[in-house]
Structures are given as structure tokens and as C-alpha cells.
Chains A and B, each alone.
Chain A
Amino acid sequence: MDESIDIDRLRSEEAELQRKLDELRATRIALEQKVKPQSRDKARPLRDLVLDLVQDAGAPLNSLLLASVIRPLQGRTIPATRFGTLSNDEAKSFDSSRARPVYLCHCLTHDQGQAVKRFWARSDWPLPERVMGPMTGRILFLQGAAWTINLARLVEAGELVADNPEVLKYVAADQARDAGLSVKRGEFPYEAWLATIADAIDRHIGEDRALRETAAVVLASRLDDRERLFGTRKGLVSLPGSTPSWRSAIE
């Protein structure tokens, strides 16, 4: 009896601490966004930067998009290979004895639970947020595009400081063009772009959300803690010549 009261009390305390942590994080991000980036972000580890950007976007982000946004926003150039190293470092960190409060992790395929390495998320998000169904790639692209366009809008409105606002505008315009929107030289109709993208997201998000939630239940029961963050490691591929009795495509 006493034990169940303790568990309830601990759960309640945990929820309260989580709420306070979320508030604290939101306050910090808001404050940081008002500070000139050169003074704080150029020396920050890429890991922390990505964690914050992903949190700010509220959705998993593609490493290509991250790299193209970090450059004008923080004035840092991230080589493509750096994300591969980051992924390995994060998995090693998870395997080490020193636990971190939050990890950078990947999206998982809805059927196999395999990592989709270019899409970055946070370990403190619910699993359905990180599951990728057949249409999720489109949704995440659109959400990332909307986030980028909104960043450019905030910079133009003076609510956010960017290292290179002009380049950020063009990164936003590229996202709008990739989404199939009309983009004219020198014109940046952020509000109209955001409205059109929101409509496009609405077309697919209901079905996508339902599939992700269903898949997340199955994956949660099937995968261990590590696999839930960095994907399954199953499915070896047999290559010709790897053994004398090779037969091909044995998985």
C-alpha cells in the first residue's frame, strides 16, 4: 500500500519537474534567440545547437536543412560528414555509463524500426513524433520548410537575430520553392508561404498521425531502449563471396 503511494507521489513529482524543465528550457531558448549569435553559438557544441534547433522546430529536422539553416543563423559551416560523427558519438554516449538527460536520436521507420539517419529528433519526445510512415517524409519536409520560413520572418520582424539575415531569407525561399510554391526574385511573402504549407500539411497529417501512433505502440513493445533511439541493428546482408557457400540475398 505504502509503496503504491510512493510511486504515485514520485510520478507526480516527476511530472512537476518535467513541467518546470520545459518552462525553463522555453525561457532559455527565448532569451538566447534575443542574444547576438556570434557571442554564444559559435563556440557551442554542435550537439547542443541541434538539440535546441530541433526543440525550436518542434519536429524532426533533416541534417541537410539543419546545415543550411545553421550557416546563416549561427554563422557556422557544418560539413556533411559531421552529422555522421554526431550520430556515432551520441550512440556511444548512450552506451557509456554516464547517462544524459536528453539524447539526440533518429526517426525510425514505421515497419522495421530502422533508423532514418538524416532525420534528427530528441529522446524526450514521445515515440510517435519520431516514427516515419509512408507520408511522414513529406510532412517533415513541410514542417521543416515552415520552421525555416518562420525563422526568416522572425529575423525580418526583429524578433530574432541571425548572423546573416540575407542568406537566411534565400534559404527560406529555397524551402518554399522546394515545396512547390511560387517564388519571385526579391519577394519574400512569408505569411502566404506559411499558410499554403499549413494547408499542405493538413492534407496528410491526420492519416499520417494515426499510422505513426499505431506503429509506435508496436515498436515500443518490440524495441529496447537503445533501439528506440538509434534504430534496430537487425538484418545482416550476405554479400557474394563472403562465404564459400554463398547463396545470395539471405537475410
Chain B
Amino acid sequence: MSVKGSTALVRLAGNPDCEILGAMVLQEGSEKRFFERVVGEPYDREFGERQSSKRRGAQFERNAYAGDGRLLREAFAPMLGRDADALTVRNLIDDYPGSKDDARVARLRITRGILRDSVAGRAVPDIIIQPQLLLPTRPGPKPYFFIAPDLLVWSPLAGTYLPGDLKSFIVRENEVAASDLARVRLQLGAQLLALRHEYDQIDQSIVVPPSGMLLFSKPNGLAPHAPRVEDIGGAIEAVRIGIAAFLRHRQKVNDLRAGAEPYTVVADLEPHFEDACLSSCVMAKWCRQRVAEHVADMGDVAGNVLGDMTMQRLLDLMSGSAAPSDDHEAIIAEQLRALADQHDEEQAA
């Protein structure tokens, strides 16, 4: 996974206590390169999204944008109460193609122009494809995150644009698995915060509602379902917590590194290993080694219930060779002994 743009913020929102993640976001270069520099050997495990998923996603987007966004216009027309043929579309990738920073800056300038026009009441496109936004995190290194929603869609109800994202997951009846939805909601949360920032620069009285639009793929072919309007109030708060965590981690990394590169101070940072890290972070194995002999190594539930305790302490509490130091440990010891007795009885039977 990437450690740039909204993906970085989504990951920070998912694990705000991980200082290693903060250093990764600060470090120039790829996540794999970060691993190589910290561990001193190449990252040789599976990494990244499946090629077939990438191809499917790219094709879904290509289809949606083709023909002056015909499928998008048809998908959004009922929601906007307009005829699909009358909706106007502007694809900013046509204006300035590319993924390098100069192209992003050019698209940011155009996006800001359109937002200003919309506030001034001038004619603006109903759908903006590949707009560019920005979330400032100044002052300090990495003073901003580029945030690029797939779409901005004019909402007559809100009187503002709302962010929209295309997802090529196969969805039946437009119902999405909770785990998939949680992640894309966080993405929308980051996009909405960036959009609010841009509107705020134009007019601080503008209220952008906590809503975002998701467009999933139908199971047959690559046509979009009807857009889902998501309430993303919770996701926005989660991303805010992620940003606050990044600012904290950045401060700590800066204090430690004294001008050196962020990866050089990783040994002095606190990881926060979680089950989800194993499927999303190149540093997961390394972080897991850091919690070896601790209950966190047994998974999120064990960590949450037992707290920051070593395995040896746990065994001592269970065997009775150590006395509980507080009520919490007393309950744990009691429960563990009960479990051990039950286990012994089952073994004997």
C-alpha cells in the first residue's frame, strides 16, 4: 500500500498510535525502500495490489470517463434531477495529464478556479473528473498531502461540490461488505476534509455537509451502480485523529533525527502492532518482532483485554508464582487459572 496522499491518511486513521507509520509517511520514497533501509535487506514478501484488481480498477475508471463521462452522467442524472445529456463534465486529466507534482499543481489550480466560480455563481461543470485537492499539515516537513478524489459532483441540495470515488469491487444490489466500506469511507473523509479546506479559503461561511458519494461496479461488466451517498461524519473524525497523530509523530521524529532521514530513528519509535498490519504494512513482521514475548503478539483482542503485559508475567499469574499487582491482574489470573483447569479436565477426559 502507498504511504502518500489520502492512503497515508487512511492508514494513520486506522492505526494512529503507530509511530513507525508516521516515520514512513515522512520518509521520501516507497514503503519497500523504507523497509530495506531499516532492516538492511530487500523486502521479499508479497506486496501491493493484485495486477488483476489494478487492471479492473483502471478499466472501470476508463469506462466511466469515456464519452465525456457518459456512464457517470447517466448514473448521477437521477440523483441530480437532470437529464444525463444536459449534465456538463470536465475531465481535468484532459487539461493536464500526468501524476507528477507539476501536473497535480496544475490540476489544483484549475480545481480552485472552478470552486471559486461556483461560489461566485458562475457556470461550473456538474461533474469534475480527477480534481486535485490539498490538505495542509504545515509547518514542518511534509507540509501538505495531495488528495485526489476521482470526482467532485455538484450537489444542488448542499449548494457545494461533494467528493465521489469509483470502486471497482463487484457489488450485488449495491450492498458492500462492511470491511470494504470502512476503508472507502475513510478515503472519502480525507477528501471531504481537503474540500472543506479549499472552500474555507474562499469563504469561511460555506458549510460542506459530511457526505460523500461512492460508485461501485455492477457484478456483470464494468458499468457503475447507482451512486451511494454516504454519511461520513465518523470517517472525518477518524481522519482528523489520523492527522493529529501524524503531527505528533512528526514532532517526535524531528526531535530525534536532528536533520537525518526519518528511517534512521525508527529504533527509537514505538510501533503499535495490530492484526491488520499483517495485510497492509511492509513493516508488520518487523513490528511484530518488537512485541514478541508480549501479549500483543497474540492479536488485537488479547492485547485489548490483557494490556501491555509480557507472556512470562501472564504465565506466572496463571501458575500462581507471581502475585497480582492490581485488581485487573487479579481478574486475569483468576480467569486464566479457570481456563487452565478446564483445559486439564478436558485433557484428562
Contact = CB atoms under 8 A, between A and B. Distances in A.
A141 interface: yes
A235 B114 CA distance: 13
Contacts of B109: 235-237, 251
A62 B62 CA distance: 14
B93 A137 contact: no
A241 B90 contact: no
Contact of A249 (B70, B138, B140, B198): B198
A249 B110 CA distance: 12
A248 B136 CA distance: 8
Residue among B91, B95, B139 with most chain A CB within 10 A: B95
Sort chain B's interface into a size bin.
35 or more
A84 interface: yes
B105 interface: yes
B143 A118 contact: no
Interface in B78-123: 85, 88-91, 93-98, 105, 108-110, 112-113, 117, 123
Contacts of B68: 137-138, 141
A237 B88 contact: no
Given A116-B94, A249-B202, A179 B138 contact: no
A112 interface: yes
B105 to A, nearest CB: 5
B47 interface: no
Nearest to A135: B88
B158 interface: no
Nearest to A109: B95
Given A62-B94, A137-B94, A178-B67, A237 B105 contact: yes
A209 interface: no
A175 B304 CA distance: 56
Interface string A77-119: 0001001100000000000000000000000010110111111
Nearest to A242: B143
Residue among A84, A112, A249 with most chain B CB within 10 A: A249
A194 to B, nearest CB: 16
A118 B65 CA distance: 14
A240 B138 contact: yes
A134 B69 CA distance: 13
Nearest to A200: B85
Contact of A137 (B91, B96, B202): B91
A17 interface: no
A84 B98 contact: yes
A117 B110 contact: no
Contacts of B305: none
30 contacts: A63-B97, A109-B95, A112-B113, A115-B95, A116-B94, A117-B94, A117-B95, A119-B94, A135-B88, A137-B68, A137-B90, A138-B68, A138-B89, A145-B67, A178-B67, A179-B70, A180-B67, A239-B105, A239-B134, A239-B144, A240-B136, A241-B139, A241-B143, A241-B144, A246-B143, A249-B198, A249-B201, A249-B202, A251-B109, A251-B112
